[in-house]
């Protein structure tokens, strides 16, 4: 029996989009938010959730989560990962185009949307491929893809063929007002590097690539964005210098936004010591200085969104010598905990932190979610900010167990998640 | 418990002289005219030096470091401080007097014989030991023994030196 | 410090030999002492040049990267200890068919053996194998990517000790492609652990790692300045790929700037020794006069290589026995 009328009472409601931070109630009916505060006359909730001492916020929006379906189901599926997302308080996921087949046609987008709807745990949107088959050579049918509902276009983590192709792709996208999501990387400077070119690479004799591999590309992409008028979003920044460049460009009026992966705000190259493949990520973990600069940028709002960069893998992918292992962390279930850690470490306030997971990503992706207005989709996350818990392989719901945060202690745990007015996760009911 | 002195140098020298006399008799009986001598590091070499001089053996004294032939090298280690083996003569077809300080389990002698055979095939080996102690674990017999002292159960005996040569007994720690 | 991959057992005895990183000075000295005692085996006038220390043990050479020289010395060392040797050149078979390293490993364990000697193109491969192989097996790193070649470093240390005795007052210069050199990384660690006075690296910026000083060395780009007053010069081999990788213009320019000649050697100490892990590119790293000259100890490095590997193999497999004994008691 699906309950259609719910009241969540006594919770601390934090909705950064609308500047709300107060203890109050919220009432839901037929999948939408009916009212905040007093319940409307004539409304009787079939279920009441007592959120005393808990935080009630919009369901989280994750700008990048790889669900591996279609094509890589041995790593994970839309079903398994959206279920994990629900446990993590995430109600909207944006999936990058590097599935198999690549998301370069409305048919693939439709397949993904349908699978997500079947599971019913979360909303799955996507960034579509900017080039056919993500080969970086020919343009994809961007207009048609935008019409089919993609949030923007992206080359995932594959480099575009050359600067001329990049320029044309940005020009074409900007014709239709389509946002371009780019990972800034110069593939020649990248060479065959698998780790930050720093003291750990020097000591372990691992092929490294310098921060210039990112900053050179950032400079190039900023210039092209300016000359083409494209709206550009920088994905997964890893260096202090990139943030500085982008800030200066925005100051000069160029339309740019940035996001960062949650793990980049906590880990550094030192965590890869001992050939720790769990910390093999792309872009790589860099220096303490970079981490501090990224934290400051997130605190100030220069970086408006923290995403998970979720990349679940089968166990074998990490069971190789470091350079031969696959990069990526299974990260949905640590998105909120790692963000809350920033609050605990006094990097930023709780409302600001939640902004980077709700209103911030919503604005970047142009979505009407991540807010608690009357009439909005009832996507809600309720969490206990005092609950202590330890992450381990048993309580990790994702099919991918590849995370360096196993055995980390966290404070703050999701107790309920609602998606379109339905309870998709409840801590009490977890078997 | 500190090891206690059991016998002092002069008495030991006398003991070794006695061994030399017994050896001469045996060699005569077996009609061996030009034996060579090998001492086992470290105590056996000290004893062998005196015997070698006493018997006036022409070839230089050979010395054996049996570390690489022990059956229990993992517990004792490779003992690299000890001099490496040095056999400055051909082993093939020679009569060898093998000299050690203390014969107990017999494992040292087995290792020494294995090592000697890796140098060549001797005509015979005569075993001379300063001290014989109970506790044989292998069928090894000494041909010439300096002394077989009666010791308390569990006590060890060892030769310290090279100067002054002293026999000490004690309990293992 | 390598975490989570213990090279020594609870008694501090060597079980794996993967990297100089994390090994204490006393252990390195013990390896040198044991190796020195093995050097005498060649000169003892034995008819049987073996010792029975590792009789009945099987040592498998797992070479994912081709190397006849290194593999031969490991094979000789194992045989002189009376061990049985299995040679597997995996570069030409399984993994080129796509079999994962882990699968190859598990298949090999089905054929019972006591020790893997591993050479692989990826940094960290030896640690990976040690982490995943059956607990009774010892792993020796014969070179992994650009990370570590610890047996080479130890034979170099033995050669230095034979000529110089005490490590403490020594100035040692390492010349060439440090960036790609697993030999250099291991040598730097060993020299610093053994307490030398100064380690210098000399080369153009393209061949030096990021922030080389963080490795515990002084950096020089000028050969003459770098070898002034040094006691030991170690020349590294220059691979031909460096020219095509835009790291160096030509062998000729390299020789002009960084090649050793008798004239340049004058700047070092009078009793300087010149070393090279081999094989030498004559006319690139040094000219023939130096390679064959009175300062060169290159041939001694080769014979020391067998003794050092014998020492390390015995120590690792000896410690193994110890664990078995503990279990049965």
* pLDDT score recorded for residue C10: 79
> Which chains contact C through at least 3 pairs of Cβ atoms less than 8 Å apart?
A, B
Which band of pLDDT confidence, cut at 50, 70 and 90, is reported for residue C321? Answer: very low
Kindly state the DSSP code that residue B125 receives in the 8-state scheme: E
Pairing type for strands A380-390 and A55-58 reads antiparallel
Same domain, A85 and A114: yes
Kindly tell me if the per-residue pLDDT of C91 is higher than 70.
no
Instruction: Give residue B81's pLDDT.
Output: 67
Count of the separate structural domains present in chain A: 2
Query: Domain containing A302: what range?
Result: 60-365
Q: What is the pLDDT of residue C325?
A: 38
Chain C partners of B64 at a C-beta cutoff of 8 Å?
A: none
Could you tell me how far CA C135 lies from the centroid of its own chain? Answer: 24
The domain spans of chain B are 10-70+79-150
B79-88: per-residue pLDDT in tens? 666 788 899 9
pLDDT at B77: 65
Q: What is the pLDDT of residue C319?
A: 63
**A372 part of a folded domain:** no
* Under 8 Å between Cβ of C30 and C316: no
Q: How does pLDDT run across B57-74, given as a tens digit for each residue?
A: 999 999 998 888 887 766
CATH of the domain at A390: 2.30.40.10
The subunits that touch chain B, with at least 3 C-beta pairs less than 8 Å apart, are C
> Cβ distance C128 to A275 under 8 Å?
yes
A116 and A177 assigned to the same domain: yes
Kindly report the nearest CA distance between residue A281 and chain C, in angstroms: 17
For residue C327, the model assigns a pLDDT of 34
My answer on whether A118 and A193 are in the same domain is yes
What distance in Å separates the CA atoms of residue A387 and residue B132, rounded to the nearest whole number? 74
Query: Which of B50, B78, B52, B75 lies closest to B65 in space, CA to CA?
Result: B78
The whole-number pLDDT of residue B74 equals 61
Which DSSP category does C43 fall into?
Answer: G
pLDDT at A362 over 90: yes
Q: Per-residue pLDDT tens for A306-321?
A: 999 999 999 999 999 9
Q: Please tell me the distance in Å from C95's CA to the nearest CA on chain A.
A: 12
Which of B72, B118, B120, B122 to mutate to probe the C interface, most C CBs <10 Å? B118
Residue C31 CA to residue C309 CA, distance in Å, equals 9
- Which tokens in the block code for residue A369? 């979610």
Tell whether A315 and A403 lie within a shared domain: no
Residue A295: CATH number of its domain: 3.20.20.140
pLDDT tens for A117-144 read 999 999 999 999 999 999 999 999 999 9
For residue C50, pLDDT beyond 60:
yes
**Residues of A in Cβ contact (< 8 Å) with C102:** 316, 319-320
Q: Taking an 8 Å Cβ-Cβ cutoff, which residues of chain B contact chain C?
A: 65, 67-69, 73-75, 77-78, 80-82, 84-88, 92, 114-115, 117-120
Beta strands in chain C (DSSP E): 58-63, 84-89, 115-120, 138-144, 171-175, 198-202, 218-220, 232-235, 273-275
Q: How confident is residue C96, by pLDDT bands cut at 50, 70 and 90?
A: low
Q: C172-223 pLDDT, tens per residue?
A: 999 999 999 999 999 999 999 999 999 999 999 999 999 999 999 999 999 9
pLDDT at position C92 over 70: no
Give φ, ψ of A32 to 5 degrees. -125, 165
Of A134, A285, A121, the closest CA to residue A199 belongs to A285
What is the predicted pLDDT for the residue at C48? 78
Work out the average pLDDT over A403-431.
93
Rounded to two decimals, the pTM is 0.88
Judge whether C236 and C258 are in contact, CB under 8 Å.
no
On whether residue A407 sits in a domain, the answer given is yes
Alpha helices in A21-90 (DSSP H): 78-87
Boundary-marking domain end, from A365, A386, A420: A365
Domain boundary among A310, A333, A365: A365
Is there a contact between A292 and A244 (Cβ–Cβ < 8 Å)? no
The verdict on A187 and A96 lying in the same domain is yes
pLDDT of C100 reads 80
User: What are the structural domains, with CATH classification, of chain C?
Assistant: 25-149+303-328 (3.40.50.1370), 150-301 (3.40.50.1370)
CA distances from C145 to C7, C124, C201 (A): 19, 8, 20
Residue A413 and residue A319 share a domain: no
Q: Which helix (H) or strand (E) holds B114?
A: helix B107-119
Among candidate residues A25, A282, A290, A309, the one labeled active-site is A309
Among the partner residues C122, C148, C210, nearest to A202 by beta-carbon distance: C210
Q: How many Å apart are CA C312 and CA C151, to the nearest integer? A: 8
pLDDT at A431 over 70: no
Q: Are residues A352 and A385 in the same domain?
A: no
What single string gives the DSSP state of each residue in A377-416? B--EEEEEEEEEEE--TTT--SS----TTTT-EEEEEEEE
Euclidean distance between the first and final Cα of chain C, in Å?
Answer: 33
* Dist. CA C173–CA C219, nearest whole Å: 10
On whether residue A370 sits in a domain, the answer given is no
Is A309 in the active site? yes
Nearest-by-Cβ selection for A201 from C100, C128, C210: C210
**Cβ proximity of A397 and A83 under 8 Å:** yes
Which of A312, A344, A365 is the endpoint of a domain? Answer: A365
pLDDT 10s digits, C251-283: 999 999 999 999 999 999 999 999 999 889 999
Number of A–C residue contacts, CB under 8 Å:
78
| CATH of range B10-70+79-150; options 3.40.50.2020, 3.30.70.1380, 3.40.50.460, 3.40.50.300 | 3.40.50.2020
Closest chain C CA to residue A188: C245
Place of tokens 């460049």: A245
Q: Is the peptide bond before B166 cis (omega within 30 degrees of 0)?
A: no
Beta carbons of C124 and A210 less than 8 Å apart: no
Please indicate, yes or no, whether residues A90 and A210 belong to a single structural domain of this protein. Answer: yes
ipTM > 0.90 (yes/no): no
Helix (H, G, I), strand (E, B) or coil at C293: coil
Q: How many CB atoms lie within 10 A of CB A390?
A: 11
Between positions 122 and 181 of C, the ones with CB within 8 A of A are 122-125, 127-128, 132, 144-148
Q: What is the pLDDT of residue A218?
A: 96
Indicate if A146 and A125 belong to the same structural domain.
yes
Residues 6+ apart with CB under 8 A from A410: A334, A337, A340, A341, A388, A389, A390, A391
């Amino acid at each position: 029996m699906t309950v259609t009328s719910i009241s969540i009472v006594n919770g601390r409601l934090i909705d950064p989009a609308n500047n709300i931070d107060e203890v109050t109630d919220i009432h839901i009916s037929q999948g939408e938010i009916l009212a905040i505060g007093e319940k409307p006359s004539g409304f009787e909730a079939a279920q009441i959730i007592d959120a005393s001492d808990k935080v009630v916020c919009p369901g989280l929006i994750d700008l990048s989560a790889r669900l591996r379906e279609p094509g890589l189901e041995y790593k994970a599926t839309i079903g398994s990962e959206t279920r994990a997302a629900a446990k993590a308080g995430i109600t909207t996921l944006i999936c990058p185009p590097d599935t198999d087949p690549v998301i370069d046609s409305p048919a693939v987008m439709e397949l993904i949307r349908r699978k997500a709807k079947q599971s019913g745990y979360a909303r799955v949107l996507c960034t579509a491929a900017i080039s056919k088959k993500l080969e970086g050579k020919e343009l994809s049918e961007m207009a048609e893809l935008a019409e089919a509902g993609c949030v923007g276009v992206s080359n995932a983590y594959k480099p575009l063929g050359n600067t001329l192709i990049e320029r044309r792709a940005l020009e074409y996208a900007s014709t239709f007002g389509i946002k371009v999501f780019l990972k800034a990387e110069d593939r020649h400077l990248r060479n065959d590097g698998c780790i930050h070119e720093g003291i750990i690479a020097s000591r372990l004799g691992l092929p490294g690539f310098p921060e210039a591999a990112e900053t050179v590309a950032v400079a190039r992409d900023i210039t092209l964005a300016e000359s083409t008028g494209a709206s550009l979003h920088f994905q997964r920044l890893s260096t202090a210098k990139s943030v500085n460049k982008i800030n200066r460009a925005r100051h000069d009026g160029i339309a740019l936004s940035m996001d960062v992966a949650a793990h980049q705000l906590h880990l550094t190259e030192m965590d890869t010591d001992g050939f720790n493949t769990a910390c093999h990520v792309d872009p790589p973990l860099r220096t303490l200085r970079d981490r501090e600069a990224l934290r400051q940028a997130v605190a100030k709002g220069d970086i408006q969104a923290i995403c998970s960069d979720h990349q679940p893998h089968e166990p074998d992918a990490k069971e190789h010598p470091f350079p031969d292992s696959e990069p990526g962390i299974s990260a949905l279930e640590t998105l909120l905990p790692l963000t809350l850690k920033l609050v605990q470490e006094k990097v930023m306030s709780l409302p600001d932190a939640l902004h980077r997971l709700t209103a911030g990503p919503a604005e970047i992706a142009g979505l009407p979610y991540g807010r608690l207005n009357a009439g909005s989709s009832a996507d809600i996350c309720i969490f206990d900010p005092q609950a202590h818990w330890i992450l381990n392989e048993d309580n990790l719901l994702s099919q991918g167990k590849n995370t360096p945060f196993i055995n980390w202690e966290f404070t703050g745990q999701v107790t309920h998640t609602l998606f379109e007015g339905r309870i998709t996760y409840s801590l009490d009911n977890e078997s | 418990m500190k090891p206690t002195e059991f016998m002092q140098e002069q008495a030991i020298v006398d003991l070794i002289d006695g061994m030399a006399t017994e050896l001469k008799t045996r060699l005569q009986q077996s009609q061996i005219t030009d034996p060579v001598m090998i001492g086992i590091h470290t105590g056996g070499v000290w004893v062998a030096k005196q015997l070698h001089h006493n018997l006036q053996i022409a070839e230089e004294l050979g010395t054996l470091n049996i570390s690489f032939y022990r059956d229990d090298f993992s517990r004792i280690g490779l003992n690299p401080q000890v001099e490496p083996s040095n056999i400055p003569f051909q082993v093939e077809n020679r009569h060898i007097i093998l000299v050690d300080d203390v014969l107990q389990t017999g494992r040292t002698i087995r290792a020494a014989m294995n090592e000697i055979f890796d140098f060549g095939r001797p005509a015979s080996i005569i075993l001379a030991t300063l001290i014989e102690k109970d506790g044989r674990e292998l069928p090894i017999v000494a041909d010439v023994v300096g002394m077989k002292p009666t010791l308390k159960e569990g006590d060890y005996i060892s030769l310290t030196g090279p100067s002054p040569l002293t026999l000490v007994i004690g309990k293992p720690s | 410090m390598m975490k989570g991959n213990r090279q020594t057992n609870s008694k501090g005895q060597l079980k794996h030999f993967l990297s100089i990183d994390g090994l204490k000075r006393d252990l390195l000295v013990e390896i040198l002492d044991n190796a020195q005692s093995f050097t005498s085996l060649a000169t003892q006038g034995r008819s049987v040049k073996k010792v029975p220390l590792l009789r009945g043990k099987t040592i498998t050479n797992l070479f994912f990267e081709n190397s006849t020289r290194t593999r031969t010395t490991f094979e000789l060392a194992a045989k002189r200890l009376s061990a049985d040797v299995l040679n597997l050149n995996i570069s030409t078979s399984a993994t080129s068919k796509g079999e994962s390293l882990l699968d190859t490993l598990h298949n090999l364990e089905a054929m019972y053996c006591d020790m893997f000697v591993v050479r692989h193109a990826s940094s960290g491969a030896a640690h990976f194998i040690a982490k995943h192989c059956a607990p009774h097996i010892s792993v020796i790193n014969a070179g992994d990517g650009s990370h570590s070649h610890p047996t080479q470093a130890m034979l170099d240390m033995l050669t230095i000790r034979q000529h110089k005795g005490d490590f403490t007052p020594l100035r040692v210069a390492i010349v060439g492609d440090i960036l790609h050199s697993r030999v250099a990384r291991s040598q730097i660690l060993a020299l610093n652990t053994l307490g030398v006075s100064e380690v210098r690296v000399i080369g153009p910026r393209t061949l030096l790692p990021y922030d080389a000083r963080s490795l515990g060395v002084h950096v020089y780009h000028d050969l003459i300045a770098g070898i002034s007053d040094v006691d030991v010069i170690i020349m590294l081999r220059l691979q031909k790929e460096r020219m095509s990788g835009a790291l160096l213009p030509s062998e000729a320019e390299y020789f002009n700037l960084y090649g050793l000649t008798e004239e340049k050697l004058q700047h070092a100490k009078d009793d300087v020794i010149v070393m090279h892990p081999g094989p030498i590119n004559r006319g690139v790293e040094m000219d023939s006069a130096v390679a064959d000259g009175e300062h060169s100890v290159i041939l001694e490095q080769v014979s020391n290589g067998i003794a050092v590997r014998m020492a390390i193999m015995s120590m690792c497999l000896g410690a193994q026995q110890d664990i078995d004994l503990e279990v049965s008691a």
